[in-house]
Amino acid sequence: METDKIWMNGELVASADAKVHVLSHALHYGSGVFEGIRAYATDRGPAVFRLMDHLRRLERSSEVYFMQLPYSTEELRQATHEVIAANGLETCYVRPLAFRGHGEMGINPLKCPIEVVIAVWPWGAYLGEEALESGVRVMTSSWRRIGPNTLPATAKASGQYLNSQLAKMEAMHSGYDEAILLNEQGYLADGSGENVFMVQDGVLSTPPTTASCLPGITRDTVNRIARGMGYEVREVDIVRSDLYHADEVFFTGTAAEITPIRSIDDHEIGAGPITKRIQTEFFAITKGLSDLSPEFLDYPAQTAAKA
């Protein structure tokens, strides 16, 4: 999975040299914010999917934690294209990470420098190639999703993924592919690294962001695709048994793309036709094969104004 070069604090460095001090604040206290982005091969070369939307979310995440990013979104956009090209990749995952480096130890993060890296690597289907077709087996985690007054779920911060890791490990140990988490009120929030949609009688439902789910960019893309196809999409609170009764349930996420959920807590659902239709359109858009939303694809030669 490792590639040659990583963009680190303004320059491309050999992957083996992209190192941090063991007293980096982020290593001890989880003080980082990050993004997950994908680039897809198109006729015009690698296109980064909704790059500026991801970088704007990175900026919003950093703002929550008073991390002043030393680079503008336009600089990070160019750096992303640079590191993809430097590694000769057409299709890849892109991981920008801004974190508190080595300054002073102690919880107060404000004296630590902000470091920024962008790494890229080839990353196939997140939950397995087979999962994109037939779906995954999911369990409801016994861990609750972090609440808005614990850690804001809308900021994509490194530390909050300890919550996701607890749920993911529980799912692995219990023989499932993935976990979904309910919030403190008992309503559906997120998967460990995905948003969740359900389909009932041709209507799509997904939790509102007030339910502590990440405002996913794939979630937004699916909203647009589904509405464009004439489906109603609702943001409503969902309880776990709503999912058991659903006609279809699926995950959305940059890494997971659109993955059907085949069963939840051993209630069989199966991969359904509406999920498939949306997934097909999603992949067409990402690969530049659809007339819909060409503005979602960011190419290296584009000007800032067009991005």
Catalytic residue numbers?
A: 156
Contact between 260 and 275 (Cβ < 8 Å): yes
Cα distances from 180 to residues 190, 261, 263, in angstroms, run 6, 11, 12
Which residues between 255 and 274 bind ligand PPE (CB under 6 A)?
255-256
Distance, in Å, from the CA atom of 266 to the CA atom of 137, rounded to the nearest integer, reads 8
Count of residues near ligand PPE by CB under 6 A:
16
Instruction: Identify which of 307, 254, 255, 294 has the alpha carbon closest to the alpha carbon of residue 75.
Output: 307
Give the Cβ contact number of residue 3 at 10 Å: 17
Distance, in Å, from the CA atom of 293 to the CA atom of 228, rounded to the nearest integer, reads 11
CB of 214 to ligand PPE, least distance (A): 4
CB of 150 to ligand PPE, least distance (A): 14
Q: Segment contacting ligand PPE (CB under 6 A): 17-25, 81-89, 233-241, 247-255?
A: 247-255
CB of 50 to ligand PPE, least distance (A): 8
Asked if residue 97 binds ligand PPE (CB under 6 A), the reply is no
Distance, in Å, from the CA atom of 46 to the CA atom of 26, rounded to the nearest integer, reads 31
Asked if residue 254 binds ligand PPE (CB under 6 A), the reply is yes
Give the Cβ contact number of residue 111 at 10 Å: 11
Which residues between 164 and 223 bind ligand PPE (CB under 6 A)?
164, 190, 193-195, 214, 216-219
CB of 204 to ligand PPE, least distance (A): 15
Closer CB to ligand PPE, residue 266 or residue 295? 295
User: What residues line the site for ligand PPE (CB under 6 A)?
Assistant: 36, 164, 190, 193-195, 214, 216-219, 252-256
